[in-house]
Chain A
Amino acid sequence: MSFISYLKDGISLGSIYAIIALGYTMVYGIAKMLNFAHGDVIMVGAYVILTCITRGGMSPVLAVILSVVVCTVLGVVIEKVAYSPLRKASSNLAVLITAIGVSYLLQNLALLIFGADAKSFVSVVKVPSVSLFGGQLMIKGITIVTILACIVIMVGLSFFVKKTKPGRAMQAVSEDRDAAQLMGVNVNATISLTFAIGSGLAAIAGLLLCQTYPTLTPYTGAMPGIKAFVAAVFGGIGSIPGAMVGGILLGILEIFGKAYISSQVADAIVFAVLIVVLLVKPTGLFGKNIQEKV
């Protein structure tokens, strides 16, 4: 029974990775950049929720909505101020380093405002646990909510990208930015929209992350951010189902590694599997193989 218990923990953690990875993968697909600061937007979202509830006395629902709004705006502003001037820079390293700068900026702002000590997070999602197999397997409410949230977001996002006009504009920009521009797609607006969606999702991920692991520091977002990025690459960066599958596989791997091998080398196992996958399939599980034309 412990196997199933670990599996559910893995899927739950993986769902959080998947939601973060979606943000990474969409931004990569459309803006062709690694947004290193994405993980830190998660942290900002979590602090907003915590502050609104503990200091502002807001209802949890309102706090979450506000957090999504703040993160969405933050994502768009970051893109406009720090990334878009570098979109046509001669090296794509420039925007990567700038993203690292933004990551430092967000972490240190949080450090100044909230301090370095870990804050214990409030319980926001109050869904009762479910007991299965005569009490042998307990599934916490937050686990159910996390997995459901992930499925809803994934389905919603797929629908949005495939069936709506702005979604199709995103696809067009990700295929060929110049051609999309010539066909009348507003590339700037599309990129902004992508950052808005990705950052909004980061707020949700921040909530779910802090419900599962209820401590919050200015560096809370960094490691999950990196792992979600790994998940996105794992699944094939740029692919929505890839981010989903990659995230969940990564979560399961991590929990199993911790449970069955050693909690200290669990991360090493996760990274080793990533390397093996990439060596066998260099563009990730769902990635498209594009060959340079001679």
Chain B
Amino acid sequence: MAMLEVNHLSIQFGGLRAVDGFNMTIEKGQLYGLIGPNGAGKTTVFNLLTGVYKPTEGIIRLDGEDITGKSTIEINKAGIARTFQNIRLFKELSVLDNVKVGLHNHHTYSTLTGILRLPKYYKVEKEMNERALEILKVFDLDREAETLAGNLPYGKQRKLEIARALATDPKLLLLDEPAAGMNPNETQELMETIRFVREHFDMTILLIEHDMKLVGGICEKLTVLNFGQVLTQGETASVLKDPAVITAYLGE
């Protein structure tokens, strides 16, 4: 069974069909790329998949479960986590606490337990700290656990966002331009991290990216979006050679 199956997904804003008849199938464990020129509707697809927008038509299935029209919270609980194009961290919280917020629905105790500091509080907090540090270690952020997230350098903020998303224990991870603003060295490092995340967490990943080196380097399959519609999709190598894709990017 496919991890993600999207059928004829569309959304209309006023007179504009921002996404129109979008189809996509991602198999479990795949590293999948969503590319296209600016304004093609890539982030809108992410927002539809995560319930920020409700689709006008179409069906979204995650691991066989119909999640169309569900709220962001329900969809996260169903197993989709994401990062954002413009980084959205909890800036006034520590790096560790950012990840612990991600663990919120997996390690639970009641508000009263927390206020009264019952034994369960100490037990669960300990579990959370251990798990959070484990995830942070993957991103080489464990030594900065106490730093405020807002004080991290840019590249590390992007990593922390991925770490926080992974903390929610998703089946599918959506990365919105993870390499934006990074220099070639950082991008190279990020590629390795993404590969590692897939292996280590047995993760299915869908990413939006402009950096063709990154896309060509790690994605197995690609979907190219143009003016809200699928221009072409398939194996990375063949898609990147497609004249229609080159035209869409470079113009006539």
Contact = CB atoms under 8 A, between A and B. Distances in A.
A89 interface: no
A294 B42 CA distance: 12
Interface in A266-294: 294
Contacts of A294: 43, 47, 52, 84
A interface majority secondary structure: loop
Interface size class of B (residues with CB under 8 A): under 10
A276 to B, nearest CB: 26
Interface residues of A, number: 1
A294 B52 CA distance: 8
Contacts of B43: 294
A83 B138 CA distance: 47
A69 B59 CA distance: 65
A294 B84 CA distance: 8
Contacts of B52: 294
A294 B50 CA distance: 11
Nearest to B43: A294
A134 B43 CA distance: 70
Contacts of B84: 294
A294 B72 CA distance: 12
Nearest to A293: B86
Nearest to B53: A294
B84 to A, nearest CB: 7
A294 B47 CA distance: 8
A294 B43 CA distance: 8
B55 to A, nearest CB: 15
A13 to B, nearest CB: 40
Interface string B61-95: 00000000000000000000000100000000000
A293 to B, nearest CB: 8
Nearest to B47: A294
Interface of A: 294
4 contacts: A294-B43, A294-B47, A294-B52, A294-B84
The 4 closest A-B pairs by CB, nearest first: A294-B52, A294-B47, A294-B84, A294-B43
